[in-house]
């Protein structure tokens, strides 16, 4: 049954088997500019490649600059006229995120699309350089800060061009397991409170809640920018590189049951570029179709609480 549902087209006309190239076929995105985090490998790299293929000028935000340059050259060799930049950014460090935003500003580029794609799954519960639990710091706080720093550019670009800006947070399943209350805020600084699995789960739940509250704020401000969360599906990427057993499963059984990277990047590219998504904000997409996430992920009050908590962390770090 899973296999047939995976291949069955939804209302969008696409399915879990659709690739990023297929869902963007015929889209002319020349003149648009995008930032993609975690762009040097996996889903981020395929997202960057397909955006460039459709004419988007892409800034790759990467932790490993050498890998970023290698990926950029591969894209440029394949796609004639592709415009791709590489800038360093370590999402686990708020100082690094701020430096990236400053360097991006120095390029004097507009910004139409922000794809918060990067993520980690660590074996250990450790602290970031800012003293936060590493999954929460990297998967959520880094992207939360980056979005806030680039938002004025996106607003200006939208006003000037009349083109809708789009922010995409790459999350996980809308039914991921977390604490009963959703986000255990105390555990962000007290690493003894939870397991690695739960740490990762609540950081990805935070991605959905971030989109929900951001969409509400943007709508209230009358800004022509959408914010949505997407689930790429289970893809055999290097996310599991630090997990010997999980990595072995991905490299064996995963080849049969996992999505390909081309399929994994499809929902991101669909929400970033497809005209069907115009005007849709604060939603959750899976397999290039709208999906209803869990009650926790749909909790507007929890989303507001997370926004306030995240804003306080970012403000305190700046001081």
Q: Which tens digit of pLDDT belongs to each residue from 299-315? A: 999 999 999 999 999 99
Write out the catalytic residue numbers.
200
Per-residue confidence (pLDDT) for residue 319, from 0 to 100? 63
Mean pLDDT of 197-213: 92
Q: What residue ranges define each of the domains in the chain, with the CATH number in brackets?
A: 2-318 (3.40.50.720)
10-52 pLDDT per residue, tens: 999 999 999 999 999 999 999 999 999 999 999 999 999 999 9
Give which of 229, 222, 220, 213 is closest to 272, Cα–Cα: 229
Give Cα 96 to chain centroid, integer Å. 18
Q: What is the mean pLDDT of residues 85-111?
A: 98
pLDDT (average), residues 165-173:
91
20-52 burial, b for 16+ CB within 10 Å, e for fewer?
bbbbbeebebeebbbbbbbbbbbbbbbbbbbbb
Residue-level pLDDT at 89 = 98
4 pLDDT higher than 90: no
As a whole number of angstroms, the distance between CA 230 and CA 267 comes to 7
Q: Which pLDDT belongs to residue 243?
A: 45
Q: What is the mean pLDDT of residues 179-197?
A: 73
Residues in the chain: 319
Q: Please, what is the end-to-end C-alpha distance for the chain in angstroms?
A: 54
Tell me what the mean pLDDT of segment 203-209 comes to: 95
Task: Give phi and psi for 316, each to the nearest 5.
Answer: -65, -40
Which pTM value belongs to this model?
0.91
State how far the Cα of 121 lies from the Cα of 146, in Å rounded to an integer: 20
Q: Are residues 112 and 165 in contact, defined by beta-carbon separation less than 8 angstroms? A: yes
User: How far from chain centre, in Å, is Cα 194?
Assistant: 24
What mean pLDDT do residues 232-247 have?
Answer: 60
């Amino acid at each position: 049954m899973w296999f047939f549902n995976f291949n069955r087209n939804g209302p969008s006309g696409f399915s879990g088997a659709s690739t990023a190239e297929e869902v963007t076929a015929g889209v002319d995105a020349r003149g648009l500019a995008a930032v993609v985090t975690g762009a040097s490998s996996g889903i981020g790299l395929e997202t960057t490649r397909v955006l460039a293929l459709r004419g988007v000028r892409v800034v790759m935000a990467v932790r490993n600059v050498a890998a970023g340059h290698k990926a950029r050259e591969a894209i440029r060799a394949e796609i004639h006229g592709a415009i791709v930049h590489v800038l360093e950014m370590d999402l686990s460090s708020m100082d690094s995120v701020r430096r990236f935003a400053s360097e991006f500003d120095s390029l004097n580029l507009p910004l139409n699309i922000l794809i918060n794609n990067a993520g980690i799954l660590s074996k250990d519960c450790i602290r970031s350089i800012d003293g936060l639990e590493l999954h929460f710091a990297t998967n959520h706080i880094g992207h939360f800060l980056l979005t806030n720093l680039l938002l004025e550019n996106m607003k200006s670009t939208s006003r000037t061009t009349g083109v809708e800006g789009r922010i995409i947070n790459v999350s996980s399943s809308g039914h991921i397991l977390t604490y009963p209350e959703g986000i255990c805020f105390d555990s962000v600084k007290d690493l003894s409170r939870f397991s690695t699995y739960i740490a990762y789960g609540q950081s990805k739940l935070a991605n959905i809640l971030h989109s929900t509250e951001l969409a509400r704020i943007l709508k209230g401000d009358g800004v022509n920018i959408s914010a949505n969360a997407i689930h790429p599906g289970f893809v055999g990427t290097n996310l599991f590189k630090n997990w010997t057993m999980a990595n072995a499963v991905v490299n064996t059984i995963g080849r049969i049951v996992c999505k390909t990277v081309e399929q994994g990047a499809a929902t991101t590219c669909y929400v970033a570029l497809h005209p069907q998504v115009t005007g849709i904000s604060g939603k959750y997409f899976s397999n290039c179709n709208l999906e209803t996430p869990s009650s926790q992920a749909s909790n507007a009050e929890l989303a507001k609480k997370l926004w306030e908590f995240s804003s306080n962390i970012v403000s305190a770090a700046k001081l």
